[in-house]
Amino acid sequence: MNTNNATPPPPPPRMKASDLPDISKEPPLRETTSSHNASEQLPGYSITTSDSDLATLPPSQLFELNQAAIDDAAQSPNIPLIGVLTKLEDLREEYIRGNQTFVKQINYLGQKNFLGIRRTRGDGDCFYRSFSFAYIERLLKSSPDVRWFLVEDALAKLSGTKSLLKRAGYEEAVFEDFYEEIELLLKRILNKASTAPPLTQRGLLDAFNDAPVSNSITVYMRYITAAEIKTSPNYAPFLFNPDFGNEMDAIEFCNCFVDPIGVEADQVQITALTTALQVDLDVAYLDGHEHPFPSGIQAQPDMSYVNVHQFENGDGFRPIVLLYRPGHYDVLSEMSADPQEGLF
């Protein structure tokens, strides 16, 4: 995070649920809620009772609650944690009878060569899961002549997060199993895992739809995020309760809004995770509002400009790209014209 000024990162757009189309095949898209409300609305993802105070729980108890949520996730409704790659045009059709600005914004993304979308279950973990999948996928699909270097670099940075977690007060026994799940997938890209075959696109999708594996990776990403916030004073000016606006210290903020499964991510969490992993991320905001086209970009009558928030951390690799709809994140893809790519 840039500490040269005290301007907080801009919040993502907020909209009412009534602005969204009725899509019966998807879980409802939710505005950001408190951790208690989020857990109460999601069967299989309840991490604590409504009268518990997450801010006062020790790390060991948070670990136990998260582990219970991971175990319970296997009993969740039959909705993929990560979906197959589908055409962005299909999303457009779902909005065609609703807010036409959504349609025009999707047209704009298509003109920018974003033709595919990979949908993520709307369970409060959608940012961390979408980010994690796209983080590994871009390494898997990287050019063979640079893949080895990129994966080894990612493995080194990932290994460095263990010391970050220890500095933040996490015990290795708490996070080691979670760490090993993501490390194994990265090693499989280079065929360096003696206990598993080389990673394929199909294998990556299967791993992220295996609830214990997928949620373990999600939890580790949350721990990285929390450790970055706890160990860097740079985030302190931006730590507020999103519901009431009161200031919070780092431990209280992370206990309530980072560590627990099912609690959505906002700008501070996204900044912390991308900073810790040194990853560039673009988030395209599909918010259903008309935005003026910047100078130098010609407006089109059937298009509406899409704001893209760039989290730049200088890893020198093409950024991960996520699509933000109100209360939800999915993976955006420059899908090829090959229909077989959509199988995975």
Predicted confidence at residue 64, as pLDDT, reads 60
Q: What is d(CA 199, CA 201) in angstroms, rounded to the nearest whole number?
A: 7
| 336 pLDDT tier (thresholds 50, 70, 90) | low
Domain segments of the chain as ranges: 24-343
pLDDT at 234 over 70: yes
Residue 208 CB coordination number (10 Å):
26
| 296 pLDDT tier (thresholds 50, 70, 90) | confident
- What are the pLDDT digits (tens) for 131-155? 999 999 999 999 999 999 999 999 9
**pTM for the full predicted model:** 0.78
- What are the pLDDT digits (tens) for 12-25? 433 333 333 333 33
Q: Measuring CA to CA, how many Å separate 327 from each of 24, 27, 30, 75, 298? A: 17, 12, 5, 23, 30
Using DSSP's 3-state secondary structure scheme, residue 303 falls into coil
Predicted confidence at residue 334, as pLDDT, reads 85
Report how far Cα 104 is from the mean position of its chain's Cα atoms.
Answer: 25
Q: Dihedral of CA 298/299/305/307: which sign?
A: positive
Predicted confidence at residue 60, as pLDDT, reads 57
Residue 331 pairs with which residues in a beta bridge? 118, 322
| 194 pLDDT tier (thresholds 50, 70, 90) | confident
Q: Dihedral of CA 185/255/266/280: which sign?
A: negative
Q: What is d(CA 32, CA 322) in angstroms, rounded to the nearest whole number?
A: 17
Q: What is d(CA 293, CA 291) in angstroms, rounded to the nearest whole number?
A: 6
Contact present, 206 and 174 (Cβ < 8 Å):
no
Residue 332 pairs with which residues in a beta bridge? 117
If you compute the radius of gyration of the chain from its CA atoms, what whole number of angstroms results? 19
Residue 328, amino acid = H
H/E run at residue 137: helix 126-140
Question: Is CATH 1.20.1090.10 the classification given to domain 24-343?
Answer: no
- Token pair belonging to 195: 């206990």
Closest by CA to 107, choosing from 339, 301, 329, 324, is 301
Q: What is d(CA 272, CA 228) in angstroms, rounded to the nearest whole number?
A: 6
Q: What is d(CA 264, CA 34) in angstroms, rounded to the nearest whole number?
A: 9
DSSP states of 213-258 as a string? HHHHHHHHHHHHHHHHHHH-GGGGGG-B-TTT--B--HHHHHHHHT
| 274 pLDDT tier (thresholds 50, 70, 90) | very high
Q: Which residues of 90-107 are buried (b: 16+ CB within 10 A; e: fewer)?
A: ebbebbeeebebbbbbbb
- What are the pLDDT digits (tens) for 27-71? 332 223 333 333 232 222 223 333 344 455 555 555 565 555 545
Q: What is d(CA 341, CA 111) in angstroms, rounded to the nearest whole number?
A: 20
What percent of the chain shows pLDDT beyond 70?
74
Predicted confidence at residue 72, as pLDDT, reads 54
How many residues make up the chain in this entry?
344
pLDDT at 206 over 70: yes
H/E run at residue 282: strand 281-285
Half-sphere exposure of 78 (CA within 13 A, CB side): 0
